[in-house]
A and B are shown apart, each in its own frame.
Chain A
């Protein structure tokens, strides 16, 4: 039996060598379908299946707060409340907290450098069950007030900055301007919570800081043996309820959300995107299978006389069927290496692209690897695909009796009806994919077409952080800002510079509550929001933000003068519709606190889109802006913007040098053009658009090829019929109607079914298509027109061939 199948495989291979065009087309179609499937499987594996790279990751739980009325269901816990939870909860052992932040390292031989770091409780390392590779991890004693400052390094940082020198242990370096002792190096590959490489102790100064001014932290822990998620959830809910009783309105949420830590990294939209991609790729694979099945049907019909001869000399139905199946299996196996290579290339590129996103997922999630399971899946899929593609022709052959095969020599195997059904299915699936692709691409284009309201081109940007160690008070920070402004403006060739806490279309703008003086604040949790940006006097000019009334900031706005703000037009219209906003006063942040400062409006400027991610994810493009002068609100973290006459990257070294002159110990980081930030913010969106666009284009191409193959074969089979019709007086029009009519019927039926599928797809995509309706008529209309045009073009060649049929030639065909 095996020997017979091997013989069939050999025969199939010889047959393919004799028909290389067929073999190549079929292999490429299958490879594309399989490759797309493997690619999406790899992405799903990374995002949905792969767990955190720590021991027993299923027991790591994440805790956050939410409330029934809150728009954001992922509220961090106040440090003081964490202390309560830590003390009173029993389900997590241990429970830990951290927050992420910049860590500037200096005070050693190397240049001052900025790293992504975390301020983290010592219990975290116990919860993660990861000891240090060198020295020790952080200990509870490190968190105590007055404890000697320590720093824990990541493996890569240790290798790159200290050359892997073990004597770094015990060395004193400066972390954020403060002297700190290196106590350990974490193992290679350890990153937590995202891609952090340096950890400082979480300062437990809960007793010295006012409740509302303390930092908020992310909380996680390891589920105690014998406990379960539901029990942990119930306990946390009870604790949060008690906190709310004790501090009404100050907790940030009225309910706890306890979930597996991995879930923390998966938004609803990620799941929706992945689910839709999985459905889409399945359609692509089915279309590819349908097409290959069609090709096999045509090929089986063409070789019907061979089959008849084989049958006549004693081949059983089983052997004839095995021959067909062997051929399709061989095709699929040939497609595997191409599919695996393609999926690997696309997956690696996708993950690399995702890491450029400022909101990139954790590193372990964006690591693409060709696991053995991946290759096994490729072979399994290939075999299944081959069987699926070969099953129809094989089934048709199985149904035919030997006598029928011999007598009809072709008609028994004719693909007509089955081929048409496959084309209808292909058209339907392709239209659904095309509509889905159109919807996603439209959403991406819409994001790209948004007017940011500010200059975003030829703008070099960077960021610096001024820590308490080197800049203990506001005056020192103001001094740094002044020196920076002076140095930046002296850069030869630059068109100007500005300092701001957030860049237009960036990711750093703070969202804050704003109310006008005298406005009622029934619920501070739901006060009107705005993007708050603190800027210097050059900001509005540099970014070409028009001053519509009043003025921008200037020398009149000093540290000790009247607190002032500039508001955007949208904010002015929201709070003082039809009135002059100049001279009015607002509260920012603590809107229900009568002692909070009031800011006087001195200017109104045009609206600026402050957060590109907000645009991409539909969080609130229209949120208005409120600006404060940096002189009055000297922020420790500011972005530098340098307007350049040409490519911004050419000024990168000049910018670094200017910052060095202002302060040699303050590292400058994120030196890149504003355009690259904006592009990076839309990476996920663009990636999904590209993937869906490729799926759509590929499916249309496949459907057109399928339509062409079936019609071309049909014309060849119907040559005699066309001749008869010619003989009976059919003119060109009649023959065209015959051929195109057949194609059109399949197209129309397929389009009808495809529209229903597309509506389903549109609904599934609704959650990730911000600003574009899942039933967008333009996309549906465009897809229908595009598809019909492509399909008609595919029908043209067979139709032309039919027109060239000479009646005499056709009638001799028999």
Chain B
């Protein structure tokens, strides 16, 4: 772990148990992310990238390995402490925005601050206003999510993620529910934030958006692989699928 490391994952494993089936979602993941870095995580569906993001965001716990955030081991802390760290250190941007429909734009962005002790109303208002100005949504304070376009909703979600000045922003397919124009706008926004010093970890399956990141991490079958290995594994898998597709009658007869 380097001196600059903000996130250090060492041998992280995640196993899901469903009835008697054991699924290894993550199998010994080692990742180091430095403060101020912009990292993308890519890979095919089911490779474990969202699970990795959930563990990074303390939404889920690993079944093995160690996770050090800001110099502190966090893989086995209790639920309330995890909530506290999520609130202070981590900002989430979800694919589906996950804004709360009953709350206004301002209230949605302010929400993480209301879970933080010691912040007065005036201070919360100031921070919220600043976050909304930063994403260009300060003119929609009183609107409700349903009154906004998808791109606007995601900008509000970004404001909510950064309002508490977290150590890292975790973005899970942030452009997944947006058209290309709005998607590019959100990517531009993340780029700006990175340039201003934010640490960003983004999960995406779109190579165009992965290119926005400084560093790309590739995953396959629950492991981190390099780009060349990923391409080789994908080619092998494609070949197997073509072979299966050529023998439909035999496959069917043998079934």
Contact = CB atoms under 8 A, between A and B. Distances in A.
Contacts of B215: none
Given A725-B111, A808-B54, A808-B60, A731 B98 contact: no
Given A729-B88, A731-B84, A808-B54, A720 B59 contact: no
B160 A728 contact: yes
A734 B115 contact: yes
A685 to B, nearest CB: 50
B96 interface: yes
Interface string B92-106: 101010101000000
B43 interface: no
Contacts of B59: 726-727, 807-808, 811
Contacts of B80: 731-732
Nearest to B99: A724
A336 to B, nearest CB: 40
B98 A729 contact: no
Contact of A724 (B83, B88, B100): B100
A729 B115 contact: yes
B95 to A, nearest CB: 9
Contacts of A721: 100
Interface string B71-110: 0000000011001101110001010101010000000000
Contacts, number: 52
A814 interface: yes
B144 to A, nearest CB: 13
A725 B116 CA distance: 12
B57 interface: yes
Contacts of A212: none
A811 B79 CA distance: 17
Given A807-B59, A808-B54, A728 B94 contact: no
Contacts of A732: 79-80
A724 B98 contact: yes
A209 interface: no
B48 interface: no
Nearest to A416: B102
Contacts of B100: 721, 724-725
B92 A728 contact: yes
Interface in B144-180: 160, 164
A378 B215 CA distance: 76
A727 B115 contact: no
Given A726-B83, A727-B57, A814 B96 contact: yes
Nearest to B146: A411
B222 interface: no
A728 B164 CA distance: 10
Interface in A787-814: 807-808, 811, 814
B112 interface: yes
Contact of B83 (A720, A730, A811, A814): A730
Given A808-B54, A808-B60, A728 B96 contact: no
Nearest to A803: B79
A540 B164 CA distance: 86
Contact of B98 (A730, A734, A808, A811): A811
Contacts of B87: 728-730
Interface string A708-729: 0000000000001101111111
A398 to B, nearest CB: 22
A729 B60 contact: no
B84 A729 contact: yes
Interface string B43-76: 0000000000010010110000000000000000
A807 B160 CA distance: 17
A806 to B, nearest CB: 8
A808 B100 CA distance: 17
A730 B115 CA distance: 6
23 contacts: A721-B100, A723-B98, A724-B98, A724-B100, A725-B100, A726-B83, A727-B57, A727-B59, A727-B86, A727-B98, A728-B112, A729-B115, A729-B116, A730-B83, A730-B115, A731-B79, A731-B83, A734-B114, A734-B115, A807-B59, A808-B59, A811-B59, A811-B94
4 closest A-B pairs by CB: A729-B87, A728-B112, A731-B83, A724-B98
Given A727-B98, A728-B87, A729-B84, 10 more contacts: A726-B83, A728-B92, A728-B115, A729-B86, A729-B88, A729-B164, A731-B80, A734-B114, A807-B59, A811-B98
Interface of B: 54, 57, 59-60, 79-80, 83-84, 86-88, 92, 94, 96, 98, 100, 111-112, 114-116, 160, 164
